[in-house]
Structure 1
Amino acid sequence: MKRKFTIFTATALCAVMLLGSISMFGSASYLTYTYSVDGFDMASPDAYTPEIEIDSVYMGVTDLEIDKTTGKGIAPPIDDPRDLFVDQNKNVYIADGANSRIVVLNEYYKYKFAIKEFNNDQGVPDSLNTPSGVYVTTDEIFVCDTENNRLVVFDLEGEFKRIIHEPKSDVMPANSIYKPVACAVDSTGRIYVISSTTYMGVISLNADGSFVGFIGAQKVTASWWQIIWRQFQTEEQRALSVQNVSTEFNNITIDHKGFIYVTTSSIEEWQQQSAIRSKSGDYAPVKKLNSSGADIMHRNGFFAPNGEVSVRGIAYDTNTPTGASKIIDVAIGPENTWSIIDEKRSRVYTYDGDGKMLFTFGDTGMQLGNISSIEAVAYQGDKLLLLDKTRDSFTVYNRTEYGDILINALRNNNDRKYDKAVDDWQAILQRNSNFDAAYVGIGKALYRAGDWEGAMKYYKFAYETENYSAAFKMWRKDVVSKIIWLIPILVVIGAILISQFFKFAGRVNRRVAVSTERRTFWQEVLYGFHVIFHPFDGFWDLKHERRGSVRAAFFWLAVTILTFTYQAIGKSYLFNPHGGYASIFIQTTGLLVPLLLWVTANWCLTTLFDGEGSFKDIFIATCYSVIPLPLLIIPSVIATHMVTLAEGNVVTLLTTFAYVWMAILIFTGMMTTHDYTLGKNILTSVGTIIGMAFIMFIILLFTGLITKIVSFIGAIVTEISYRL
């Protein structure tokens, strides 16, 4: 029995080791991931896995010339490849920079022909010179003949057709050099050219090469100092000074609808990093332009489609790239997907039509699937091709089962087959529970089926507030329709209760005003409702008649702190999608620090401005002035559970009105407490704000000095202990 158990255990162990080996063999040499709403990368199943690396030998390029002695190919291999393009027949085109040619391969990556020398339209022998880009339409091949400053057009067999020379126009910058590095052609024949030395946007040409104009110029910014300084410069000084010009684009492509995708890697680092969390395209490294040059890209993901999100400024490993992505190419994929590549990290980022990240993969290295120096990206059916400039090759990636399900889900969604899309999204979630687009897809299907509550549930998983708001609006409509008769009753009851409470507070305050008895704590608290509606009379009695007290002031201060805590955690999902966490200590500090700074600074100025209020008077008046905050902020928080995002202005209005009301009460309170005129009170208020800043400076300076003294004493003690 023992021998059988030993044999069984050994067999099981071998099976586990074998399965582990198979798994490692089938895995990719890189990590595929997406990003969470907090910016952390989350592992994802591979959407593409490497199949083969295609070099010049595999293509058959070196076999164009054979050494008769060895029988081996000696033709020049591809050197310094600069662009990669796949046409509608899946033929592959490579811009071979160092050899000044375009190499054309069939769909199996075998050599067909090369374009290098030709007879031009004058019948004179001509040749390409360091081409940097290639674009193929249904019947023509457009080559960016960079060092010859022109575009050259060939037919699909490689026969010369025409030359498109440098465009001529009065709006072209003087002394500019035309260096076309990328181009694209739309269905109407209009040509769009990227010149590496042009800063005015994409050059638009008619089919005959005539100049149309510039489109899509990047935003230019100048500091206030630069703007002011230029007003005092002479014409000569302005000509010699640094010019604020738009950043140039580096690549371009067009989708089947005629929309233009352009990329740039010349944006300032801080501007591009700020654009990661922005919905604006002002400093985006990739844009989607219409024919007039307007950016129409959707940026509906957690982060803008700008490549890397986790852009750490300091790397623990010196080989780890840091900073924003350097985007150098864009390719259009199936079902409105598109991909960009990051030259820093040799990584691919793929997004859907809404700008939501679908997956990211890739890394530098020598293993199959890793790219030493990424240069271009192109789709070939269900395959993805990445060009490696250092290894003079490209790698073919196959779409995985997970990738197929993802594309099929997008296809069904685009075709409005939402029921079928749900099955695909659920299949994706079984493989990747972190995939937010799947939750959104299921939510949309449930929304169209009328299941508002179910849709809200899935939207919430994906932090999809806009769609959640739409589902909530429909759910609210159903609920209201069922209790429509109850709403007026609740409104009337609420109005009566509020009215009766204020009447009660008013009776108490009037009775106390003529009473000679000692005031109770709750009478002092209720007097706050008289102050906020009758500030001049209220603050006068607060000081001279002692209608308030320090204990009542602390009560309202505590209520306000609790109100801020409730505001931080009590808002609905729509207005607090990430779930707020509030610490009483933080809320207390956030209110007490500015309040005490105000009271202290204002009290310090009373001697200079002949103020009549004491520190205690100022403190009590200020604490009574914050009463509008709990009165209006609490209802505004409750209102977040009843309104949609589009109706959120109601919440903002209540909160804003609360702070404006508080500011008016503080201003009135100080004027009454110190018996100031309006002008002197304005001057004192401004001085108080300046005094608050000065006190903060003194505190920070003193804290820094104490820290240094403690550190110095600690260093001395440590040194003495070592010597002893």
Structure 2
Amino acid sequence: MRKLKYIFMMIIMVMFFNVLTVNAEAPYYTYTSDKDGYINRTQTAYSPLNKISIINGERLKVPEHVFVDKEDYVYITDSGYNKIYILDNNYNFYKELKSDEFEAVKSTFVTDDKIYVVDSYNSKIYVFDKKSLNLIQEIGEPDSPIFKEGYKFRPTNIAVDIRGNIYVRSAGSINGLMMLNREGEFLTFFGANPLKVPIVDQIRSYFLTENQEDKLEKIFPDVPSNLAIDDKGFIYTVTSSIKSNPVKKFNISGNNYFPDDMVGIYSMESVWVGQYNNVFSVSSEGWVFEYDSTGNLLFLYGGKDFSSSRLGLFSRPVSIATNSADDVIIIDQGTKLIQTYKATEFTNAVHKAMLEYQEGNYNESQDLWTYTLKYNSIFDNAHVGLGDAYLRNDRYEEAYDEYYDAEYKDGVSKAFWEIRQKWLENNLNIILIILLSLILVRLILRSLNKRTGLYKKINKKLVIVKKIKFIDDFCFIFEFLKHPLDGFYKIKMENRVSKISSTIIYILAIGVYVIHKRYSNILFVTDGTDFILYKLFSIVFVTVLWVISNYLICSINDGEGSISNVYNATAYALTPIIIIMPLVTIISNGLTLEQAVFYNIPIDILIIWIAFLMFFMIKDIHNFEVGETCLVIFKSIFTMLIIAVFLFILYSLGNQIYSFLYEIIREVINR
């Protein structure tokens, strides 16, 4: 028994030790975004590597900023000591930069031969020689009329391009970044965020003077929090007060290349561009984001440390950078630490695949993306990368499949265009033969009709078939669409159609809708059959509400139509769906994004057509004037909302009563 007890305790200790080891390596989950923009767990992208709290015998006081130059030297700005610590590529102390000029150093930017130091208290940018650390230039407030008029120059972060132009993030600069030349002369503002104004103030602005509008614009500025620059000259900004599209990528003209719906959160404080044109950002809440060169989320990890200083979690991170070894370096000002992370094998494969593709080595890129999919088969970025590699190697069908799995529309469109082009080249002769055959058949039928009266014989047989009530009612659709006003009159006065045929039309419309969702090109119908039952229930529910509400309102307003008239006329007003939607579904499967107009125009025509028919349905069925019709439509919609709210309240109360009775019955049974 003692031996068994000893063995049992050893097993528990080993298990406990293993749990502690895993948590110590990565006390957080790693996430990525899928094709629908949802966040899903994936393999660990970066493992915590080390903490640095003491440099050259001094404990960090107020660490503000980290920068890594091309030689992997790390520059740590500490405003508490008013100095910049310089570490070598192994994070060992190398030297430090300090000056009697410093009052409150905030950040640095390092080029091949210069070190730019931003002093926010003095509102100056000091330029030092990189080798000798001698001060060679001071850049203060530019001599420009805009600053003489009261616009403040309060630099906190900068970026420098290959021409020596300086992009300055200035505190409170509502016009975006300031662009200076190498001499410090003001050139222009750059990369401002769109103005965010509440809808009430937008309406109110129509009644304000120009001076009042200027004051209003200053109330809601989204000032960039930080900036970075890549080797190609693209400027990146991050804004902590924006949730959607917080990170932006600007070209020299100020155009943003990142999507408006990119994954992000509030409080994102710092931005950095890696060696694969991947973009890193960190939020003050402790989340680390990595995007690819087009703004798609690759990895999301980290988190807030609420208990103790756990390796890998943060208190209040303020700055981020990476080196050539793909180590991530983050300044945690809350705990006065520098935390480093090591890329995992999975992440290295992703990065190498991105690099090989950018350098044109598509076969190597293809192998690496395939390797990453072994780690995570639903990693959409890998599917897109693999699709890009296949597309470059002229393997269009395989590229289409990979893009389709990731629902990457641009890729699907490109691959399908190539597949369609190839198919047309191989089958153009067959298409021409079919067209010529159809023309020949048409000529033969016309010739037979002239000799034998073929069309009249067919029409006589159709007349016999049309005596069947259902078929006759269904054929009335074409007569109705040609002359809708006469059609409404016949529905109302002559009882031209029945409830059975109208019900079948409703069912057909629903069926066409399902087919459209299921078989249309993914480029134009992204949701497909997702939640199809819910959507169908919503459509049926709204249709029933419309029929009831419209009849009730029209009855109150002395409308002449019965509920049967409304039910039948509404069904026939929806018949363009049956005519147009199948054609749109078929056509969509032969289009790419460049031909989207041929999909959108029929849909727009369909909507306008149905709206026209519904308007005149109300007007003619109930014998209203135009003004009365508009008022009845508004009242009908309002009534629909009231009924829907009432049913929702009734459902909620019923659900609570059911839960209450269920709990009572269960309690009685248990006792």
TM-score of Structure 1 vs Structure 2, range by shorter chain? 0.7 to 0.9
CA distances 1:371-404 after superposition (whole Å, capped 9, x unpaired): 3321211122212211121232212323333333
Counterpart secondary structure, 1:359: strand
Counterpart secondary structure, 1:484: helix
Calculate percent identity across the aligned residue pairs.
26
Q: Tell me the C-alpha RMSD between the 2 structures.
A: 4.0
Equivalent residue number for residue 285 of structure 1: 246
CA distances 1:649-694 after superposition (whole Å, capped 9, x unpaired): 22222233233333333444445445x4xxx542232122112123
Matched ranges for 1:268-279 at <5 A: 272=243, 275=244
d(CA) in 2 for partners of 1:480 and 1:235? Answer: 59
Equivalent residue number for residue 128 of structure 1: 102
Cα offset, 1:420, TM superposition: 1.3
Q: Is 1:330 aligned with 2:304?
A: no
Cα offset, 1:431, TM superposition: 2.2
Matched ranges for 1:185-196 at <5 A: 185-196=160-171
Contact 1:605/1:684, CA 8 A, preserved across alignment: no
Equivalent residue number for residue 228 of structure 2: 253
Equivalent residue number for residue 94 of structure 2: 112
Q: 1:716 to 1:286 in 2, by over 3 A?
A: closer
Cα offset, 1:461, TM superposition: 1.9
Counterpart secondary structure, 2:428: coil
Cα offset, 1:432, TM superposition: 2.6
d(CA) in 1 for partners of 2:659 and 2:13? Answer: 61
Equivalent residue number for residue 384 of structure 1: 328
Cα offset, 1:466, TM superposition: 1.4
* Residue identity in the other structure for 1:575: F
Equivalent residue number for residue 52 of structure 1: 50
Q: 1:489 to 1:660 in 2, by over 3 A?
A: farther
Counterpart secondary structure, 2:146: coil
CA distances 1:486-531 after superposition (whole Å, capped 9, x unpaired): 44566676997xx999999976897899xxxx86232222222211
Equivalent residue number for residue 605 of structure 2: 657
Q: 1:78 to 1:455 in 2, by over 3 A?
A: same
Matched ranges for 1:305-704 at <5 A: 306-307=263-264, 324-344=265-285, 346-365=286-305, 366-382=309-325, 383-487=327-431, 520-581=469-530, 583=532, 586-587=535-536, 589-591=538-540, 593-594=542-543, 597-598=546-547, 600-601=549-550, 604-605=553-554, 608=557, 611-674=559-622, 676=623, 680-700=624-644, 702-703=646-647
Q: How many residues align?
A: 645
TM-score by length of 2: 0.85
Gaps of 5+ in 2: none
2:63 to 78, 81, 98: 81
CA distances 1:613-668 after superposition (whole Å, capped 9, x unpaired): 33323332222222221111112112222222222322222233233333333444
d(CA) in 2 for partners of 1:643 and 1:236? Answer: 50
Cα offset, 1:333, TM superposition: 0.9
1:299 to 259, 280, 301: 259
Counterpart secondary structure, 1:575: coil
Q: Is 1:153 aligned with 2:127?
A: yes
Equivalent residue number for residue 80 of structure 2: 98
Moved more, 575-584 or 85-94: 575-584
1:215 to 169, 185, 190: 190
Matched ranges for 1:230-245 at <5 A: 243-245=218-220
Cα offset, 1:341, TM superposition: 0.8
Contact 1:598/1:692, CA 8 A, preserved across alignment: no
Cα offset, 1:97, TM superposition: 1.1
Counterpart secondary structure, 2:572: helix
Cα offset, 1:32, TM superposition: 2.3
CA distances 1:684-714 after superposition (whole Å, capped 9, x unpaired): 3212211212322442464477579879999
Counterpart secondary structure, 2:86: strand
* Residue identity in the other structure for 2:99: E
1:200 to 168, 175, 181: 175
Moved more, 658-667 or 684-693: 658-667
Counterpart secondary structure, 2:281: strand
* Residue identity in the other structure for 1:380: N
d(CA) in 2 for partners of 1:481 and 1:715? Answer: 65
Counterpart secondary structure, 1:178: coil
Contact 2:547/2:563, CA 8 A, preserved across alignment: no
CA distances 1:175-218 after superposition (whole Å, capped 9, x unpaired): 34432111111111111111112221111111111111211111
CA distances 1:301-351 after superposition (whole Å, capped 9, x unpaired): xx51x43xxxxxxxxxxxxxxxx231111111112112111111x122112
Contact 1:567/1:634, CA 8 A, preserved across alignment: yes
d(CA) in 2 for partners of 1:534 and 1:489? Answer: 38
